[in-house]
Chain A
Amino acid sequence: AQKITQTQPGMFVQEKEAVTLDCTYDTSDPSYGLFWYKQPSSGEMIFLIYQGSYDQQNATEGRYSLNFQKARKSANLVISASQLGDSAMYFCAMRELTGYGGSQGNLIFGKGTKLSVKP
């Protein structure tokens, strides 16, 4: 079973509108972290936002916010006021604390969503 599911292979949004990218996860570990990364066409992975499983409030970073619904195991990324520069691949990832061996740093990635912002 997939641990991270991103159901939207591609999405379009009009410039200046808000957009939500979906992410659901599967874990039995009570302590975990959820990450969103952006990958422009140039290839580098850019960290956007983090949510810990024990965090009471949804994370926000500028125009990015994470809609964390723990009971539903979802961690959707919301981008407000989309800009042309937001066109990129977006990856959701999870880190579980109870990894095997020395795997405390391992991230499990979803397959990504390609966001295109239209002018």
Chain B
Amino acid sequence: DVKVTQSSRYLVKRTGEKVFLECVQDMDHENMFWYRQDPGLGLRLIYFSYDVKMKEKGDIPEGYSVSREKKERFSLILESASTNQTSMYLCASSITGQSSYNEQFFGPGTRLTVL
């Protein structure tokens, strides 16, 4: 059974703290993604990675960084958390390739509150 796990379901942090969100997949997928979900805005791509140590900016990378040292793990880092980063964060993974059918498998999400 395919699985994407995220380190926390709920997280509360203070403004200015450094925050790490961890994502692990056990499907040997090349691609991994971090999304942010806000009401009325859908899912917006923050960063993605198509290989170890490779990363690409998505639509809203400002205020975030990522790390992918191992194939199965993709970390999202908030260097100095701010209240406008309060949101639901979703991690996903998929295989790579030229087929238009590359289903993304999602983790359960992390609801982050920054006070």
Partner of A103, one of B56, B88, B90, B104: B56
Check B43–A42 contact: CB distance below 8 A.
no
Check B102–A104 contact: CB distance below 8 A.
yes
Check A44–B100 contact: CB distance below 8 A.
no
Across the interface, which residues of A come within 8 angstroms of B102, CB to CB?
33, 95, 104-105
Check A35–B103 contact: CB distance below 8 A.
yes
> Which residue, of A35, A102, A110, has the highest number of chain B Cβ atoms within 10 A?
A102
Across the interface, which residues of B come within 8 angstroms of A103, CB to CB?
48, 50, 56
Q: Is A76 an interface residue (CB 8 A)?
A: no
Can you list, as one digit per residue, whether each of B96-109 has a CB less than 8 Å from chain A (1) or not (0)? 11111111111111
Check B103–A104 contact: CB distance below 8 A.
no
**Interface residues on chain A, number (Cβ under 8 Å):** 29
| Nearest CB in chain B: distance from A14 CB, A | 26
Partner of A104, one of B9, B54, B96: B96
Q: Is A74 an interface residue (CB 8 A)?
A: no
Across the interface, which residues of A come within 8 angstroms of B94, CB to CB?
105
Check B90–A53 contact: CB distance below 8 A.
no
Q: Is B77 an interface residue (CB 8 A)?
A: no
A110's nearest neighbour on chain B, judged by CB, is: B42
A38-88, CB < 8 A from B? 42-45, 47, 50, 52-53
B105's nearest neighbour on chain A, judged by CB, is: A47
Expressed in whole angstroms, the Cα–Cα distance for A37 and B108 within the complex equals 13
Across the interface, which residues of B come within 8 angstroms of A33, CB to CB?
99-102
Check B54–A102 contact: CB distance below 8 A.
yes
Across the interface, which residues of A come within 8 angstroms of B104, CB to CB?
47, 105, 107
| Nearest CB in chain A: distance from B52 CB, A | 12
Check B109–A106 contact: CB distance below 8 A.
no
Across the interface, which residues of A come within 8 angstroms of B88, CB to CB?
43
Check B100–A9 contact: CB distance below 8 A.
no
Check A101–B108 contact: CB distance below 8 A.
no
Check B100–A111 contact: CB distance below 8 A.
no
Give 15 A-B pairs besides A43-B90, A43-B111, A105-B102 with Cβ atoms closer than 8 angstroms.
A9-B40, A33-B100, A33-B102, A47-B103, A47-B105, A97-B98, A102-B54, A103-B56, A104-B31, A104-B102, A105-B48, A105-B50, A109-B42, A110-B42, A111-B42
